[in-house]
A and B are shown apart, each in its own frame.
Chain A
Amino acid sequence: MARSTISSLFGSSPVKPLQTHMDSVQECIVELVPFFKAVIAEDWKEARSQQKKIAKLEGAADKLKRQLRLHLPKSLFMPISRRDLLEVLTMQDKIANKAKDIAGLIIGRKIILPEALHEAFIEYVERCIDASAQAQTAINELDELMETGFGGKEMTLMESMIKKLDSIESETDKLQVKIRSAIFAKEKEMNPVEVMFMYKVIDWVGELADLAQRVGSRFEIMLAR
């Protein structure tokens, strides 16, 4: 059946796919909480199965990313810049990638966290995941923003969401400082190589929030034009 002129005029909208991708990224990183709980409990069997789950979900997000990229030909006329859109997508994807790296590193080296840190660390991970959840909420506003032509009440709402994302991110920074100083205090008693990697894990978890914040600011830039 021949496609009619009118239906071929409409390209496939990138809005839903971008949102679906972010949803699947979020789905992937929330698994870090049960993962870390298993690690703290030194239940390596459970931790490994969680790590596999994270890797699998990361793969699913990757697939969605590739699909969206393929469906964005240059001839598409959109109210947002194609480049900005692709950059938001890349940022989103990096969050899932980071989660996979964190899980992989911990499993690979069987890193054991000092007991005094357990509670603070879980809180830290959860807060970083919150940052990404906030980015997801903002991305979910995209269809409403499209509807209003990026103006008015919707835009103000979106800006307040991004502001909240920024404040969550700075909270995670503070948590990070606290954990680092706790490790620093006990550094001398621990195995130096393990300490090195511990710092690395802390860094990477913090990057989840950083990346989420960058998704937010990229998103803002995309809408500002």
Chain B
Amino acid sequence: MTLEFGITFIVLACAFGFFMAWGVGANDVANAMGTSVGSKALTIKQAIIVAAIFEFAGAYLAGGQVTATIRKGMLDANLLSGQPELLIYGMLASLLAAGIWLLVASRAGWPVSTTHSIVGAIVGFAAVGVGIDAVQWGKVGKIAMSWVISPAIAGIIGYWLYISVQRLILNTSDPLKNAKIYVPFYIFLVGFVIALVTMFKGLKHIGLELSTTQNYVIAIAIGFVSMFIGMVAIKRLHFDPAADKDFHFTNVEKIFGVLMMFTACAMAFAHGSNDVANAVGPLAAVVSIVENGGEVAQKSAMPAWILLLGGTGILIGLVTYGHKVIATVGTGITQLTPSRGFAATLAAAVTVVVASGTGIPISTTHTLVGGVLGVGLARGMDALNMNVVRTIFLSWIVTLPAGAILSILFFFILKGIFS
């Protein structure tokens, strides 16, 4: 069977997907980069450049699994194979619903997550528009569980990272000397972990197939390269003993600033690997159905241009609107020193990258909140506003039905228009 509106569908999907990617760039990225700007490790301009490069790299190198989950992992393809147009309407409706909900929610200042909106929307249209059985509830349940678990894991990692920083560096008799010794190892850790997780989950799609040993060797190599760059950067720092008069850790924090730059790259990479899928996944689903002549293909490679579109959308969102959000986030966080920001951000980045590798769409922002709270539990934060935790819980409860209801609505509208 062929689809008479094939081109129209693709154009619509591109437009909606782009809109969604714009939203991710305008809002989500700011949260991901905010801690780096807030701790003064990066200027806003640098943050945008880092975000542009590493979001894209993350999406391209490690974003495949989550995209697969979004486009087909939550639905039962067999039930849809007879009626591919339903999936097309559904994915279009989901993109539109999630995009609009995000716009409304971020205007109102609610901490909603792109991931939750799109998952809610997809589950919504499938359960109501196609049938309750069309949803793979087991898989969706696992995803929902991971939304609670991921901030907790980031919290635990953040806690121990900060405790280790205190033990090895801050609480010693010569913090500056110890910072010069240990910070390069943390930089190694950043490069190594991110590279390893990314490679383990396969770089087959870019034509690289590696053995476990090769993975380790390359990850270690990347770790050492980062470490070397970091050491050069630390060497080039100027330490001013007078600056320590007012706050004794001013010079130590300069070294952590170098570390934070690496962590910021890791965070952007992690965010790209997980959140770009929210915009790109539904688009990829539509394109693959249309290109396969209406077949709901389970196995098909994702065209590179789709990722490019998603990446461009994020970039434009970042440049047109996101930089303002980064600025507010950055100036709002005065208590976040680079040593604290590093622990929180790295904890979140690692958690997100692991989730991306497993194909689980999680909320980067909420994971980062978990990381920050973990550092706070290690007595590392001056004052955290616990109301945010409550609003996050509320947003979980509200976002899923909101995304679902909107997408059901759009689903029936689209169905009415095209058939």
Cβ contact of B166, chosen from A7, A15, A75, A149, cutoff 8 A: A149
> Would you call A12 an interface residue if the criterion is a C-beta within 8 Å of the partner chain's C-beta atoms?
yes
**Which B residues are CB-close (under 8 A) to A104?**
none
> Would you call B226 an interface residue if the criterion is a C-beta within 8 Å of the partner chain's C-beta atoms?
no
CB-based contact A8/B335 at 8 Å:
no
> Would you call A181 an interface residue if the criterion is a C-beta within 8 Å of the partner chain's C-beta atoms?
no
> Would you call B106 an interface residue if the criterion is a C-beta within 8 Å of the partner chain's C-beta atoms?
yes
**Which B residues are CB-close (under 8 A) to A75?**
385-387
> Would you call A108 an interface residue if the criterion is a C-beta within 8 Å of the partner chain's C-beta atoms?
no
Cβ contact of B365, chosen from A6, A13, A79, cutoff 8 A: A6
> Would you call A66 an interface residue if the criterion is a C-beta within 8 Å of the partner chain's C-beta atoms?
no
29 contacts between A and B (CB under 8 A): A3-B328, A4-B31, A4-B325, A4-B329, A5-B111, A5-B388, A6-B34, A6-B329, A7-B38, A8-B388, A9-B384, A9-B388, A10-B335, A10-B336, A11-B382, A14-B382, A75-B387, A76-B383, A77-B381, A77-B385, A79-B379, A146-B379, A146-B382, A147-B249, A148-B166, A149-B162, A150-B379, A152-B171, A153-B172
- On B, residues with C-beta under 8 Å from A are 27, 30-31, 34-35, 38, 106-109, 111, 162-163, 166, 170-173, 247-249, 324-325, 328-329, 332-337, 339, 365-366, 368-369, 372-373, 376, 378-388, 391-392
Instruction: Say how far B395's CB is from chain A's closest CB, in angstroms.
Output: 9
Q: Chain A, 70-111, contact with B by CB distance < 8 Å: what is the 0/1 string?
A: 000101111100000000000000000000000000000000
Instruction: Say how far A157's CB is from chain B's closest CB, in angstroms.
Output: 9
**Which A residues are CB-close (under 8 A) to B383?**
10-14, 76-78
**Which B residues are CB-close (under 8 A) to A5?**
31, 111, 365-366, 369, 388, 391-392
Cβ contact of B171, chosen from A7, A13, A146, A154, cutoff 8 A: A154
Number of A-B contacts (CB under 8 A): 135
**Which A residues are CB-close (under 8 A) to B388?**
5, 8-9
Bound Cα distance from A206 to B335, whole angstroms? 37
Instruction: Say how far B381's CB is from chain A's closest CB, in angstroms.
Output: 7
**Which A residues are CB-close (under 8 A) to B381?**
10, 77-79
A residues 1-33 in Cβ contact with B at 8 Å: 1-15
CB-nearest residue of chain A to B329: A7
CB-nearest residue of chain B to A76: B383
CB-based contact B247/A10 at 8 Å:
no
CB-nearest residue of chain A to B109: A2
**Which B residues are CB-close (under 8 A) to A9?**
369, 372, 384-385, 388
A residues 145-169 in Cβ contact with B at 8 Å: 146-154
Instruction: Say how far A19's CB is from chain B's closest CB, in angstroms.
Output: 11
Chain A: interface size category: 20 to 34
> Would you call A144 an interface residue if the criterion is a C-beta within 8 Å of the partner chain's C-beta atoms?
yes
Interface of B is mostly: helix
CB-based contact B170/A152 at 8 Å:
yes
Cβ contact of A10, chosen from B107, B248, B333, B392, cutoff 8 A: B333
Question: Which of A4, A14, A15 has the largest number of chain B CB atoms within 10 A?
Answer: A4
- On A, residues with C-beta under 8 Å from B are 1-15, 73, 75-79, 143-144, 146-154
Instruction: Say how far A85's CB is from chain B's closest CB, in angstroms.
Output: 10
CB-based contact A78/B382 at 8 Å:
yes
CB-based contact A7/B337 at 8 Å:
no
Instruction: Say how far B263's CB is from chain A's closest CB, in angstroms.
Output: 15
CB-based contact A3/B335 at 8 Å:
no
Instruction: Say how far B297's CB is from chain A's closest CB, in angstroms.
Output: 37
Instruction: Say how far A82's CB is from chain B's closest CB, in angstroms.
Output: 10
Bound Cα distance from A55 to B372, whole angstroms? 43
**Which B residues are CB-close (under 8 A) to A13?**
334-335, 382-383
CB-based contact A4/B170 at 8 Å:
no
**Which B residues are CB-close (under 8 A) to A143?**
247
The 3 A-B pairs at the shortest CB distance, nearest first, are namely A152-B171, A13-B382, A7-B332
**Which B residues are CB-close (under 8 A) to A144?**
247-249
CB-nearest residue of chain A to B166: A149
Bound Cα distance from A148 to B163, whole angstroms? 9
Bound Cα distance from A14 to B337, whole angstroms? 15
**Which B residues are CB-close (under 8 A) to A151?**
166, 171
CB-nearest residue of chain A to B111: A5
Instruction: Say how far A209's CB is from chain B's closest CB, in angstroms.
Output: 26
Instruction: Say how far A70's CB is from chain B's closest CB, in angstroms.
Output: 14
CB-based contact B34/A149 at 8 Å:
no
**Which B residues are CB-close (under 8 A) to A153?**
171-173
